[in-house]
Structure 1
């Protein structure tokens, strides 16, 4: 390419990148967030007064206005993800008990979405005395009320009586037509474990892993299947301990790989504060691991620690290398994390679901003021979002990244 043509191409590219989004392009339930409006603020508060736990309201906005149009467009790329008519519907509510927390999984065979209660939350009284529960909804029932902003009471939320009961489930994924749970364990004598559950009655379960060469894991947090080698990757962290339902940790927080055919368990990544959510790019070439290091339970919050998503290259042999910082979250910390079919990355954060393109640029949010620990796609253009005491159903244009053999 000649220098002159190169300059023209650069100008065209910059023009496309910098071109403002027309108001006519913004769907009714979306709003444009112009980041230039808060590059320079007339006043800022010290960290003790404004930090990762503080809601950021852009100039010209209010908390109500952010909620009224919950699809926040930070970059034009987000418009392709949400489509022309995105919707967000609250379908369930709990006054205090965080019933809608984590482990959001779509069971394609039953067309239901499963999720779990918060283990260790004081308002749930779960963790040590009793286990968090698994629940589910019918996706058809949720879709039938997607024209409403609030449909609490119109979608049945059913308790799933797993047998034997999955103890303090937290993360989950599809696995060979069933659901694979990362259980955090309970007390000294119920170790953290990987559980497989039948998504149909009688919801029978089997433990497939509960130790590392005889040593208890700390508190298994999240789990994902690699789309190529089909091995199970999972994170282990100390949240059971810092939420008072597990003993002091006996291992460092790290990411493991489990081959259920050979039984081999290996550590594939360490050096985290608290490794949390875990997912893979659709082609399996990258692994994404969330680190919620800013939140250490009864040790308190430390805003100088990670609230980050790290990306790794996945080698042909399934090992991880070339860790890099992919994103740092400004609100809360990234918890559950998933990719769509195009490789964009989504994470549950302190003010909803944040969405980055494959380069790590924040392009949009699905705003949930109570925060989002986890969420997941449920087929083409459908998503279920857990907001602790609220459960949401969203419609958009994007499709999730699934490992088809596991569905």
Structure 2
């Protein structure tokens, strides 16, 4: 288990030197000047981070991004890139600001991102290190952004996850539990595990497809109307040397927790990864991250596909929705306006419902996932955690 982190503390600005007060008339003039200056400074601060991208210049200059200070910094930093004006006006909103809130010596911020109302915290899975140091759950308090680590019983190598209503739950209230994709290891099968953080208890929901082992179940969503769990399976445990060789194709599944019924609903992926429903649950988005297996393959898929959801049970009309220009689209989420967000190789990419790139939350390094919080977005980039505040849109999932 990785070491617990010290609580995050906001830095305190150094006090300014005291200055003798000027004469009353001069003080009045200076107050007017100071008020005007503060107004300008506040306006600059609020606008800071937004960078307009010249698409015509980019269309004819492959090195365009290297000319922008925001995208060519030596160290990771956060910027908000406008590929379309609506990204600033309608998606993030004109008052959005962005900052880094944590930079740790271990990869605490990797996947999942599940809000738990009783402690007003976000639960994030860390990245895999070794079988002797299995994946932690990083808990980020939304009260003060303090950070701690925990583990749940019988949850060995957690990856993606979502809020969860067990069968018979009151769905008019916030989800009482969480469900994680446990990638498993050489001694434990890959599985779907339900967790109650309040009681520190776990329940195994699923460990195989009709007796046939999964590779490394990767990400999961619960259908709001049926309660079914839709999830993906990929080979990343095998690629990271903590799972045996795969014995089943990379597929998307639908599982009924109340009956045990399980079906394959989509196949034909190199590495099926993130998935997400549209707000009306009529569309399912699934990412294929085959561009990264044992090694990086730039000609492999880094693609989000869209499917029609038929009767809440099956998928039809597979089509290419979007391709990620940097890295691959890992975690995928939708907002209530139907925009599709994906963690990619340089940050979070935001597409409109037609698959047009509206903008990026650029951090200059891979973001495997992110999470909506009330009025904001937390961006995970393994060692670092970033925050975008005063965000206009809201996340689709009911826990947001």
User: Shorter-chain TM-score: which interval?
Assistant: 0.7 to 0.9
Work out whether residues 227 and 282 of structure 1, in 8 Å CA contact, stay in contact via their aligned partners in 2: no
The CA distance in 1 between the partners of 2:298 and 2:48, in whole Å, is: 36
Cα 1:239–1:94 change in 2 (3 A) is same
Asked if 1:198 corresponds to 2:193, the answer is: no
Q: Aligned residue for 1:132? A: 135
Q: Residues 234-273 of structure 1 correspond to what in structure 2 (within 5 A)?
A: 234-273=231-270
**1:383 partnered with 2:377:** yes
Q: Which residue of 2 is the match for residue 227 of structure 1?
A: 224
CA distance in 1, matches of 2:251, 2:77: 40
* Structure-2 residue corresponding to 1:171: 160
**Distance between the aligned counterparts of 1:257 and 1:83, measured in 2?**
36
- Provide TM-score, normalisation by structure 2: 0.82
Distance 2:246 2:133 in 1: 21
List runs of 5+ in structure 2 lacking aligned partners.
1-42, 166-175
Residue aligning to 2:317 = 322
Q: Which position in structure 2 is the counterpart of 1:89?
A: 99
Which residue in 1 is equivalent to 2:56? 36
Question: C-alpha offsets along residues 32-58 of structure 1, whole Å, 9 cap, x if unaligned?
Answer: 1111112112x77xxxxxxxxxxx725
Structure 1 segments of 4+ aligned residues over 6 angstroms from their partners:
65-69
Asked if 1:286 corresponds to 2:283, the answer is: yes
Deviation at 1:165, TM superposition (A): 3.8
Distance 1:246 1:64 in 2: 37
How many Å separate the matches in 2 of 1:242 and 1:102? 17
Question: Which structure has the larger Rg?
Answer: 2
Cα displacement (A) at 1:89: 2.3
Q: After TM superposition, give the deviation of residue 136 of structure 1 in Å.
A: 0.5
- Mapped partners of 2:75, 2:156: distance in 1: 37
Q: Which residue of 2 aligns with 1:161?
A: 151
Q: In structure 1, what is the Cα distance between the partners aligned to 2:91 and 2:74? A: 21
Over residues 155-178 of structure 1, what are the superposed CA-to-partner deviations in whole Å (9 max), with x where a residue is unaligned? x2111231x141110000000211
Number of residue pairs the alignment of both structures matches: 344
> Partner of 1:64: helix, strand, or coil?
coil
CA distance, structure 1, for counterparts of residue 252 and residue 78 of structure 2: 37
> Is the 1:225–1:403 contact (alpha carbons within 8 Å) kept by the matching residues of 2?
no
2:352 to 347, 354, 357: 357
Counterpart CA distance in 1 for 2:49 and 2:298 is: 33
RMSD of Structure 2 on Structure 1 (CA)? 2.1
Greater shift after overlay, 332-341 or 70-79? 70-79
Distance 1:114 1:198 in 2: 12
Asked if residue 392 in structure 1 is aligned to residue 389 in structure 2, the reply is: no
